[in-house]
Amino acid sequence: MKASIAVLAGDGIGPEVLAQATRVLAAVAARFGHDFALHDALIGGIAIGKTGAPLPDETQALCREADAVLLGAVGGPKWEPPAKVRPEQGLLALRKGLGLYANLRPVRLFPQLVAASPLKPEVLDGVDLLVVRELTGGIYFGAKRREADRAVDECVYTTAEVERVVRMAARLAGERRGRLTSVDKANVLETSRLWREVATRVVNEEFPQVRLDHQLVDSCAMQLVRKPSRFDVIVTENMFGDILTDEASVLGGTLGMLPSASLGEGPRGLYEPIHGSAPDIAGRGVANPYGAILSVAMLLRHSLSLETEAAAVESAVGSALDHGALTEDLAKRAVSTREVGDAVVRALLEERQ
């Protein structure tokens, strides 16, 4: 198959992890006979430095034409407040501009990484969950203002925004173990009361085979580290999803392991590891590229419908972990970012024989 993929490396460790992710894409193309055209473009702080804008028009145009977008990370101390133009604005504008309202963040624990998690093995037993985070609404995109001695961030949700993301999450739950947990703060927030009503209606009317329950976000945060195996699919609003997935990443070993896919109505998606730009380790060649590599697997699966290829990348990650290709967030005797890429590419190409 022919596909065009926009590659937005961004800031900090973004370029380092994407260098390995794109090698993996090239190995997939070689093994399965595909033609993937990769197009680099600017986003984030580096884009501000070169063009003045965190999401230049050319980047937007390229992403609109591409079949999928692969992104590294944005942000860094150089652009911290009070800077007016911020790298994160580029990412938020890209998600919104492409209509990518559902952010899929699967959390699974590779058995090789049980020791890397600070949680007890018995707590981690059976962890396999998917968080579907609403991505283009809520407090992230509400009106913001600053007055003399007060600041305001509005949180707005419409019925239609809740419906579409709940529908996507319920469909995915139906393809998994059939359990959906909707997370809100309905005891305090009006947007959450709307969320709960809409989620109940959509699931009852359209997904009778899916078992829905509701949880308050504070309680969910606790359950995630107490008994994570009870979750199948979690659907929640933008900011709750941001916070809960950093917490949930601990279940997968470290934040560096987690991939994500941001989807809208069509097959085009944005794929990025959930970690940030990690300026403290940037440039040292030690960052964990597995989150980016597993994002490639999600890209193959969701945007290109290449399930066999996606599974091959995931299995190559398993082999690389078996061979001890662990970065310093995972093990004391660590290998470099590039060596992880080497191990994954080797496994992908060896499995061909």
Question: What is the binding site for ligand IPM (CB under 6 A)?
Answer: 74-75, 88, 91, 242, 274, 276
Please choose, out of 163-171, 210-218, 234-242, 286-294, the segment that lies near Mg ion by the rule CB under 5 A.
234-242
Distances (CA, A) of 168 to 101, 151, 164, 258: 10, 34, 6, 20
Give the residue among 256, 259, 251, 257 at the shortest CA–CA distance from 225.
Answer: 251
Catalytic amino acids? 140, 185, 218, 242, 246
Whole-number Å distance between alpha carbons of 24 and 15: 14
The interface partner of residue 12, options being Mg ion, ligand IPM, none and the CB cut-off 5 to 8 Å by kind, is: none
Total residues contacting Mg ion by CB under 5 A comes to: 1
Give the residue among 117, 74, 51, 57 at the shortest CA–CA distance from 253.
Answer: 117
Whole-number Å distance between alpha carbons of 245 and 300: 22
Tokens standing for 317?
């990650």
Closest separation between CB of residue 236 and ligand IPM, Å?
13
Closest separation between CB of residue 180 and Mg ion, Å?
22
Among 16, 242, 309, 314, binds Mg ion (CB under 5 A): 242
Q: Which is nearer to ligand IPM, 112 or 238 (CB)?
A: 238
Q: Which is nearer to ligand IPM, 23 or 185 (CB)?
A: 185
Distances (CA, A) of 280 to 11, 87, 105, 231: 12, 17, 24, 33
Q: Which is nearer to Mg ion, 232 or 242 (CB)?
A: 242
Closest separation between CB of residue 15 and ligand IPM, Å?
16
Give the residue among 261, 272, 347, 343 at the shortest CA–CA distance from 303.
Answer: 261
Closest separation between CB of residue 269 and ligand IPM, Å?
14
Q: What residue is closest to ligand IPM based on CB?
A: 88
Give the residue among 167, 230, 161, 240 at the shortest CA–CA distance from 201.
Answer: 167
The interface partner of residue 75, options being Mg ion, ligand IPM, none and the CB cut-off 5 to 8 Å by kind, is: ligand IPM
Closest separation between CB of residue 351 and ligand IPM, Å?
31
**184 makes contact with Mg ion (CB under 5 A):** no
Phi–psi pair at 2, nearest 5 degrees: -100, 135
Interface with Mg ion (CB under 5 A): 242
